[in-house]
Amino acid sequence: MDLGLKGRRVLVTGSSSGIGEAIAQLFADEGAKVVIHGRNRERAEKVAAAIGAAGVAIGELAEDGQAASVHTEAVAALGGNIEVLINNAGGNSEGNTSKPPAAIPASDYISNFKANALGAIQLCELSVPDMVANRLGRIVNVSSAVAMQPNYMGADYSAAKAALNNYTFSLAGSLRGVNVTANVLSPGVILVDGLVRFGRMKFGDESLTADQVNERLAAEAVFEVPPAGRFGLPRELAMVAALLASPLNGFITGANYRVDGGQVRGLN
């Protein structure tokens, strides 16, 4: 099915690896003009060359002023304003995943908010005016299942993602009748390269394929296995992102699309 993405100008943040790379690859496959974003120029340029991207934009979105430079570099590479913005960049403070909320210092809550919400908010601030002026824009903010079903530990990350969800809903409500949509994409456990490496190390077998790692992690319940019976694949998340970003989608906005295999125990 042709989603109508050919020629669309797209920025995917955090796309030099993992979920972001899979999203960028799918958009490129659909004929979109894609800019790869990351913190390491060499790695970003390698991905850009592999998928035939329009260029790269480099910057740490958690740092003050970096969103503006990333936006400027992306617009220059695309040869025009951003029409599709996929805010995927972010991350978790791994040292806090086993800490209860009160044991996590306030500074870590601030750092996580900057990494997982503020950069996306700033890129929206920079990109939305052009989208509104041209009456064409699609925003997809990548969140997490823990924003809706937080763990007892690692509250700094889940709180930041919950803030991103709330911002997205408010943004969508403000964009009335201008053909600009804003939605959330919430993954559960996704089998990114880092998780594959973890599985190979845990099972002591470097020859395991990603599918074999997925099967063994699920069979041995290394992590809580969702009702789907396995963990997600980056491309499965990318396919939903493409649907939400398509010009064919003008009526889905302010929504949270869970791609979690049924991990969250509840309805949105």
**Tokens at residue 211, please?**
């599918």
Question: For residues 245 and 140, is the Cβ–Cβ distance under 8 A?
Answer: yes
Say which of 109, 157, 167, 257 is annotated catalytic.
157
Catalytic residue flag (residue 167)? no
Residue 68, Cβ neighbours under 10 Å: how many?
14
Q: C-alpha angle with apex 174: 36 to 183, nearest 5 degrees?
A: 40
Backbone dihedral region for residue 8 (phi beyond 0: left; psi -120 to 50: alpha; all else: beta): beta
Task: From 235, 215, 219, 220, select the one nearest 23 (Cα to Cα).
Answer: 235
* Distant-in-sequence, close-in-space partners of 235: CB < 8 Å, separation ≥ 6: 22, 25, 26
Q: What's the DSSP call for residue 179? A: S
Question: For residues 57 and 77, is the Cβ–Cβ distance under 8 A?
Answer: yes
Strand partners, 100: none
Alpha carbon distance 123, 11 (integer Å): 10
Alpha carbon distance 86, 265 (integer Å): 26
Question: For residues 242 and 30, is the Cβ–Cβ distance under 8 A?
Answer: yes
Backbone angles phi, psi at 86, to 5 degrees: -110, 105
Question: For residues 108 and 93, is the Cβ–Cβ distance under 8 A?
Answer: yes
Which residues have a catalytic role annotated?
157
